[in-house]
Amino acid sequence: MKIIKVIAPATIANIVCGFDVLGLAVNIPNDEIIIKITNIPGIKIKKIFGAKLSKNKKKNVISIALQALLNKYKKANIGFDIEIYKKIKPGSGIGSSAASAAGIVVGANYLLGNPFNKIELIKFAMEGERLAGGVPHADNVAPAIIGGITLIRSYKPLDIISLRSPDNIWISILHPEIEIKTSDARKILKHKILMNEAIKQWGNLGALIAGLYKEDYSIISRSLEDVIIEPIRAILIPAFNELKINCKSIGALGGGISGSGPSVFMLSNGKKKAELVTNVMKKIYSKLELKYKIYTSSINKTGIVYYELI
């Protein structure tokens, strides 16, 4: 029976002004999943490395997402043995659960002969996200599966659009090693917003997309503003405002909270600028008594990849 290794990327949801509709994939960090297809029915999580996750099929996003796929596949005598190698920390805000959910459905789909298209795979992966955050959102799993920058135009029906991903955009990501659960971060949000806030947010979202297509970094920079979510969640992240101010002062295009946090990201025009921004982030967090991880990455335009081991 075939065995494959799946490499699933971290992702940044929202991209400042696109709450629950925008996301992008990065090249580092990545999760790895080893998947073996068998003729013994059932999903078996054999090993988990790098994180304390449940092997219980009802409590792991991998088994939930895979079961959603198998419910549609409807063929007997199919099973999967799975090993999980977590390199994206759960609760980091850079798509840890999405990497697991998306990675397993893409890998299983390949082993079954690719019966499902990418939109169907995203729907299966969203069921894993439902377990992780209480809401079956797609702003992490869509870019993980499709690659690049994605826009969710609609959830019913699910309509996802791949946006232009300029080669020159690089991302600096700081992950403070504190945990913010997506479900908790959603609870503190307002359920109603003012019309003037909505208008400003729509303007920023539209302008950001226009900036990406025009590769106009001035427009991109001006558009990276969130007047709805960030003002509420910023208090959860140590030195958040200091990070933003100092990174922009040396030329970062802008940035904000990755997903529900605690990770913070900054976009830059070019690798050299991104490396300078990453160093500023390091300097600020080296003063705090907090462990952190930091990454500098280009946009991952391919999404999840896999290759056969046997």
What CATH number should be reported for the domain holding residue 41?
3.30.230.10
**pLDDT tens string 12-47:** 999 999 999 999 999 999 999 999 999 999 999 999
Q: Is the pLDDT of residue 182 over 80?
A: no
Residues 197-208 have a mean pLDDT of 97
Q: Are residues 179 and 157 in the same domain?
A: no
In the chain, the number of structural domains is 2
Q: Are residues 117 and 92 in the same domain?
A: yes
pLDDT in the model for residue 3? 96
What CATH number should be reported for the domain holding residue 196?
3.30.70.890
Q: Are residues 150 and 173 in the same domain?
A: no
Q: Are residues 289 and 304 in the same domain?
A: no
- Give the whole-angstrom CA distance, residue 74 versus residue 78: 9
- Give the whole-angstrom CA distance, residue 258 versus residue 174: 9
Q: List the one residue out of 226, 13, 15 whose CA is nearest residue 126.
A: 13
**pLDDT tens string 281-295:** 999 999 998 899 999
Q: Are residues 16 and 143 in the same domain?
A: yes
Q: Are residues 11 and 100 in the same domain?
A: yes
CA 25-29-33 angle, 5° bins: 95
Q: Are residues 291 and 209 in the same domain?
A: yes
Identify each DSSP E strand in the chain by its residue range. Answer: 3-13, 22-38, 42-49, 79-85, 149-155, 158-163, 169-176, 254-257, 264-269, 292-298, 305-308
Q: Are residues 62 and 87 in the same domain?
A: yes
Q: Given the structure tokens 């080296």, which residue do they identify?
A: 286
- Overall size of the chain counted in residues: 310
Identify each DSSP E strand in 168-209 by its residue range. Answer: 169-176
pLDDT in the model for residue 165? 97
| Parent domain of 280 | 169-298
